[in-house]
Amino acid sequence: MAGKRTAGDGTFTPKKRARQDHVDYIDVDEMSEDEAMVQSSLVPRAATINFSALTRKLAQERRAHGAADDTVSAHRRQQDSLVSNIFMDQDFSWLHLKPDHASRPLWIDPEDGHIILEAFSPIAEQAQDFLVAISEPVSRPSFIHEYKLTSYSLYAAVSVGLQTEDIIEVRQETSGLNRDAYGVRFKGVESLIEVPETIINFIRERTLSYGKVKLVLKHNKYFVESSHPETLQFLLKDKIIRDARVVSQPTESNKMTTFTTAKAPVKGNLVIAGTKEAEKKKDDAAKTKEPFATGGPNADVDLFTSVVGVDADEIDEDDENVHAFEIDDAKIDDVKKRCNELEYPMLEEYDFRNDTVNANLDIDLKPATVIRSYQETSLSKMFGNGRARSGIIVLPCGAGKTLVGITAACTIKKSCLVLCTSSVSVMQWKQQFMQWSNVTDRQIAVFTADQKEKFAGDSGIVVSTYSMVANTHNRSYESKKMMEFLTSREWGFILLDEVHVVPAAMFRRVVTTIKAHSKLGLTATLVREDDKIADLNYMIGPKLYEANWMDLAAKGHIANVQCAEVWCPMTPEFYREYLREQSRKRMLLYCMNPKKFQSCQFLIKYHEDRGDKIIVFSDNVFALEAYAKKLRKPYIHGGTGQVERMRILQFFQHSPDVNTIFLSKVGDTSIDLPEATCLIQISSHFGSRRQEAQRLGRILRAKRRNDEGFNAFFYSLVSKDTQEMFYSTKRQQFLIDQGYAFKVITHLDGLEKLPDLVYKTRDEQIELLSSVLLANESEADLGTDIRAGEGDLAGTVTSKDFGGPPGRRVPAAQRTTGSLTALSGAQHMSYVEQNKSANKKLAREAAPRHKLFAKRDRDVAAAKKDARKS
């Protein structure tokens, strides 16, 4: 049965299943806040793996066994007492494993293309490489991985050179070990699993049309190119594409240009800079006086075996006759989008070595620069067939995306435009280019609000921000001149940093105004809280590679991190105000909760004593200043001057007296502090999964990460029974899917005994509360901190981008029981009891009010009354 085709939606949906089927699957995005709060507390934080079809199948099997099978029943009874309470009707521990289960580490859902992999299987590593190439990793915790086959993932697979027959393989023979014959299996996974027919059809259908059409830039004009004339004819029947076509000689309206292109170079001829092979090749070239990286005809450098496993002989060489038609520059975006919808997504490849029109850029990595294996693998996806493919590379925070970008630029060796999100990042990119490559100051220019430089000579590198390039209003004279410089030329390569944050409209403007042969998007978190992620597919290209965070941590490239959510009970006074307050000030109340203050103080002390360097993050500037001043620590936010910032950061890096700093969201990205080993988050931006991951990224690069037994620490302080708990659960989801486990800490041992514990007395707490209540409501804002300079993207990101629905009604908080250490059996774990009425009662309760608030209450009540009247 063929899967239903849904143009452009990218998901495999043979049958939309009823939501109630997903009894075992909790999707936090779709839960109500009340549900989420309860759920977040009841279940240990686990990856949300979709086992629904498997569950159904097994449930049928269980019914088939029925009570007749005494052994099973007995076994079940025994299990009932142990695990059934947890797994309820999804307890399948009573089922017998097949004798050859070890060779069946994979399960494919025939209905929605989900693939479940036992990550502990000996063949898992090989299978993972293959699965990453053909499907989207959904969740990759330690033992069970979940992937999903989608249109986009297959598009990506085709774009890195995989054909239908590289993905599925028809096998006739029966395994000697096992009597089960299997007809069609995944080629990259040595297992006894037969691929279901629905999935085979889906793969065949999608891979048939993909890769047939290419978008090519030649002499500053864009062409839609294909060696299948019937495909171009099909596309030209579409109105949008037909209207975008440029007909230079209107004599024969539908005739296509046919020209001969050079054959695609075989992969053995290309060497990625920075690899060992590159070094060897350089030496050989020096000996034979051949230029580096051109390779001789017999050069046999087999760099590109890894995941794809495409051999040199298998690389498809272009047909002699390639047909093409020109399209209007301004309509590129529409054409790409339309082709996607018609299931003919366009591949963008750049045959840079045969480009004689654009000047070469004499740039190479410094001899001392050696790229890491995963960086090489990701680049091999880009340069796998000797050309530069456009697409996105996803690597964890701190895993070295900058060097991947620089290496790509050094491999293409043509003019390159780098776009980043802020002027701070611009300077960092320039510095990194100088650090890793032999680029000279004259070859690299910067285009920001303060600096508008051009490179000397015919080719070079320009580093700028998205908004400098996309902004069309109020340009200064120099900016206009600079834009002319950027738009009048052809770029070999455009590097797009942090692609996931750029608003789609801005991206569109960049992609349509700048003419570039190839594009590489870099990101750590290919998640967006809006639905724009799919746009990146046609605007940049498919995802070429996504690294596994846990793998990189295990190999010491990024630090191992212990994550914990610390539940801080609200003091009665704060909680009462929280329940009464309807405005944004609620947020201020849960950030300034005295118990959170104390927990923060305790954790800072504990980790400073261990020799850690700590960053405390707070999106809320009011809270940031209040905490930092009270705890006597330096702080940086949007309003901190550049000189002061640098001074504080340097002290943090080099002085043993400054071991803790407070940062607002200006520190979420672009701050490279390898000394930091502990993070404490006291306030964050709603449910932003991306922000959570980026903050974690600040400690993933910890210098000490390779020390024996080293762990970095990430704490999220959450005020109990407040909205914050819901957001916290949502924020963690991305990291959980990468394999991080969040422990819940309900009690910090020894907190009460801390000398100089802040806000210990009720009076002190009430004083703090009064300062919060007297604060302006705007102090609760999270979005106003970054004072973006001209050209910085930060100011363009709105709260909507973070999934924080400010207009949404805030649900009543849940009442939780106290610490239930004894009950749960696990120390410091807790569960929540849902009891809305208790909260309502609390809110209604005419509790004796402190005189400080009595007047305020009357004022608020009067204001509400006036508002109702008007």
Ligand X SMILES: Nc1ncnc2c1ncn2[C@@H]1O[C@H](COP(=O)(O)OP(=O)(O)OP(=O)(O)O)[C@@H](O)[C@H]1O
Distance in Å, CB of 598 to ligand X, minimum: 31
Distance in Å, CB of 405 to ligand X, minimum: 8
Distance in Å, CB of 29 to ligand X, minimum: 24
Nearer to ligand X, 195 or 395 (CB): 395
Distance in Å, CB of 728 to ligand X, minimum: 22
Cβ-contact 537, 385 below 8 angstroms? no
Please identify the residue of the shown chain whose CB is closest to the bound ligand X.
400
Nearer to ligand X, 188 or 400 (CB): 400
**DSSP code of 362?**
-
Strands of the sheet with 660-663, listed across from one edge: 635-636, 660-663, 614-618, 678-683, 712-719, 561-568, 742-745
**DSSP code of 559?**
-
Decide if residue 398 touches ligand X (CB under 6 A). Answer: yes
Cα four-point dihedral sign 433, 435, 438, 439? positive
Nearer to ligand X, 358 or 375 (CB): 375
Two tokens, residue 254: 């539908």
Distance in Å, CB of 481 to ligand X, minimum: 31
Distance in Å, CB of 380 to ligand X, minimum: 15
Q: x/- site string to ligand X, residues 699 to 738, per CB under 6 A? A: --x-------------------------------------
Among 400, 460, 542, 803, binds ligand X (CB under 6 A): 400
**DSSP code of 171?**
-
Window contacting ligand X (CB under 6 A); options: 177-185, 370-378, 512-520, 708-716: 370-378
Nearer to ligand X, 132 or 700 (CB): 700
Q: What string of DSSP letters covers 659-670?
A: -EEEE-GGGSSS
Q: What string of DSSP letters covers 691-736?
A: HHHHHHHHHHT-GGGGSTT--EEEEEEEETTSHHHHHHHHHHHHHH
Task: Return the residues of window 501-530 that contact ligand X according to CB under 6 A.
Answer: 524
Among 697, 739, 783, 804, binds ligand X (CB under 6 A): 697
Window contacting ligand X (CB under 6 A); options: 90-98, 245-253, 291-299, 396-404: 396-404
Task: Pick the closest to residue 34 from 832, 844, 841 (CA basis).
Answer: 832
Decide if residue 401 touches ligand X (CB under 6 A). Answer: yes
Nearer to ligand X, 397 or 679 (CB): 397
Strands of the sheet with 214-218, listed across from one edge: 257-260, 321-327, 221-226, 214-218, 347-350, 388-389
Does residue 556 come out as left (phi exceeding 0), alpha (psi in the -120 to 50 range) or beta? left
Give the 3-state secondary structure of 620-659.
CHHHHHHHHHHHCCCEECCCCCHHHHHHHHHHHHHCCCCC
Collapsed DSSP state (helix, strand, coil) of residue 356: coil
Decide if residue 403 touches ligand X (CB under 6 A). Answer: yes
Give the 3-state secondary structure of 308-333.
CCCCHHHCCCCCCEEEEEEECHHHHH
Distance in Å, CB of 675 to ligand X, minimum: 12
Distance in Å, CB of 698 to ligand X, minimum: 7
**DSSP code of 2?**
P
| Cβ atoms within 10 Å of 181's Cβ, excluding its own | 12
Cβ-contact 608, 633 below 8 angstroms? no
Nearer to ligand X, 32 or 706 (CB): 706
Distance in Å, CB of 565 to ligand X, minimum: 22
Distance in Å, CB of 375 to ligand X, minimum: 6
Beta bridge partners of 184: 170
Among 193, 327, 365, 371, binds ligand X (CB under 6 A): 371
Cβ-contact 555, 375 below 8 angstroms? no
Cα four-point dihedral sign 9, 15, 16, 17? negative
Window contacting ligand X (CB under 6 A); options: 394-402, 533-541, 675-683, 862-870: 394-402
Nearer to ligand X, 94 or 433 (CB): 433
Q: What residues have CB less than 8 Å from 526, skipping those under 6 apart?
A: 392, 394, 499, 500, 533, 536, 543, 546
Distance in Å, CB of 605 to ligand X, minimum: 28
Nearer to ligand X, 151 or 375 (CB): 375
Distance in Å, CB of 397 to ligand X, minimum: 4
Window contacting ligand X (CB under 6 A); options: 153-161, 260-268, 294-302, 397-405: 397-405
Cβ-contact 364, 410 below 8 angstroms? yes
Task: Return the residues of window 548-587 that contact ligand X according to CB under 6 A.
Answer: none
Nearer to ligand X, 232 or 693 (CB): 693
Decide if residue 372 touches ligand X (CB under 6 A). Answer: yes
Nearer to ligand X, 268 or 398 (CB): 398
Nearer to ligand X, 399 or 563 (CB): 399
Nearer to ligand X, 295 or 398 (CB): 398
Among 48, 151, 209, 402, binds ligand X (CB under 6 A): 402
Window contacting ligand X (CB under 6 A); options: 244-252, 367-375, 476-484, 846-854: 367-375
The footprint of ligand X on this chain (CB under 6 A) covers a number of residues equal to 16
Nearer to ligand X, 547 or 588 (CB): 547
> What is the amino acid identity at position 681?
Q
Distance in Å, CB of 430 to ligand X, minimum: 13
Window contacting ligand X (CB under 6 A); options: 277-285, 357-365, 399-407, 548-556: 399-407
Distance, CA of 236 to CA of 217 (rounded, Å): 19
Question: Long-range contacts: 572-581, Cβ < 8 Å, 24+?
Answer: 573/762, 573/765, 573/766, 573/769, 573/850, 574/765, 574/769, 575/721, 575/842, 576/842, 576/843, 576/847, 577/769, 577/772, 577/773, 577/853, 578/722, 578/813, 579/813, 579/839, 579/842, 579/843, 580/843, 580/857
Following CA atoms 846, 850, 852, 858 in sequence, which dihedral angle do they give, to the nearest 10 degrees?
10
Window contacting ligand X (CB under 6 A); options: 368-376, 685-693, 789-797, 825-833: 368-376
Cβ-contact 239, 342 below 8 angstroms? no
Nearer to ligand X, 127 or 403 (CB): 403
Nearer to ligand X, 671 or 775 (CB): 671
Distance in Å, CB of 694 to ligand X, minimum: 7
Among 132, 399, 693, 745, binds ligand X (CB under 6 A): 399
Q: x/- site string to ligand X, residues 308 to 337, per CB under 6 A? A: ------------------------------
Task: Pick the closest to residue 469 from 439, 435, 497, 500 (CA basis).
Answer: 497
Decide if residue 500 touches ligand X (CB under 6 A). Answer: no
Task: Pick the closest to residue 384 from 498, 538, 545, 225 (CA basis).
Answer: 545
Distance in Å, CB of 497 to ligand X, minimum: 8
Distance in Å, CB of 678 to ligand X, minimum: 17
Distance in Å, CB of 524 to ligand X, minimum: 4
The contact set with ligand X (CB under 6 A) reads 371-372, 375, 395, 397-403, 524, 669, 672, 697, 701
